[in-house]
Amino acid sequence: MGHVFTFGEALATFFVEGGRPSAVAVAGAELNTAVGVARLGHRATWMSRLGDDAFASLVRGTLSAEGVDSRAVKTIPAGKTGLIVKERLSDDAVRSEHYRTGSAAAGLAAVDLDGVDLDDVDWLHASCITPSLGEGPRELFERVLGDAAKRGIPVSLDTNHRPQLIDDAGLRDAVDDVIDHVDTLLCNEEEARVLTGHDDPERALAELRARGPRIVVVKLGRRGALAADADGVHRADAVEIPPPHHPVGAGDAFAAGWITAVLEGLPIEDALRRGAWCAARVVADPGDHTGFPTRERLEEVAA
């Protein structure tokens, strides 16, 4: 089993049902993927900054319970941990409101990598949410991906566009600055269009692969997913689940399934199928990562 390193922002999450808070949990794209990787039997390390508030304790408790290594997480005295509020609008729609301005994670900087050991890391995963948080987080993002590439560590990048943080042009710039370091680029259909201008996912796949990544994956929601490598285009169907649907976190789950399958030496078609299956498990659960499958469940289904 491999060691996956990732980094980014964590958010405490309140769920609202019928106008009232119904639960509290932890979110954050890269943290979600780290949890997924750990549940699937691999080692996961997550790096970030947290405040010294109650929400930070919730995050640390979650990391500990899930077996995610948090030694690279810094506590910022008097700092605040970000917050997200989710409200269900229909069986297929959830409204998310973010309160993250001035959070501890917004102060991430390139210096945070100092002293962090990457020697035994087998895979590095990042998302474009981190460079969207500000100049410091962007400098860290570029440094981590650059250092990983120099060490020969495969890098996966999930574009994870957040329009409330960065516009289309900003997303293109963030990807262009690091695409030479990326082994696997993951995006959804709309993000592929933003990056290339192509509405046809296969045209977008071809153009993105030509920019340098060994593999490009485009997630198509209920239509499954596509991946392109030197051998051509590969396809996988989505896994159907009954409503209500909880789409937030599905892409992070897909990334965890994909990464672990590749680390285990599975063919690209199997990696796509595992990614789609993990995504469906999360879509069926209201939490960002609470629906992640365990290794035991994966093996039961595979059998």
The strand pair at 155-158 and 11-17 is best described as unpaired
For residue 57, count CB atoms less than 10 angstroms from its CB and return exposed for 0-12, middle for 13-18, buried for 19 or more.
Answer: middle
Distances, alpha carbon 157 to alpha carbons 6, 72, 217, 272, in Å: 10, 20, 10, 16
Distance CA 72, CA 69 (A): 8
Number of residues in the chain? 303
* 288 in active site: no
The strand pair at 232-236 and 225-229 is best described as antiparallel
What three-state secondary structure class fits 227? Answer: strand
Backbone angles phi, psi at 104, to 5 degrees: -60, -40
Out of 112, 158, 183, 252, which one is annotated catalytic? 252
Q: Measuring CA to CA, which residue among 238, 221, 230, 222 is closest to residue 273?
A: 238
Our measurement of the distance from residue 184's CA atom to the centroid of its chain's CA atoms, rounded to an integer in Å, reads 13
- Cβ–Cβ < 8 Å for 158, 39: no
Residues tagged active-site: 252
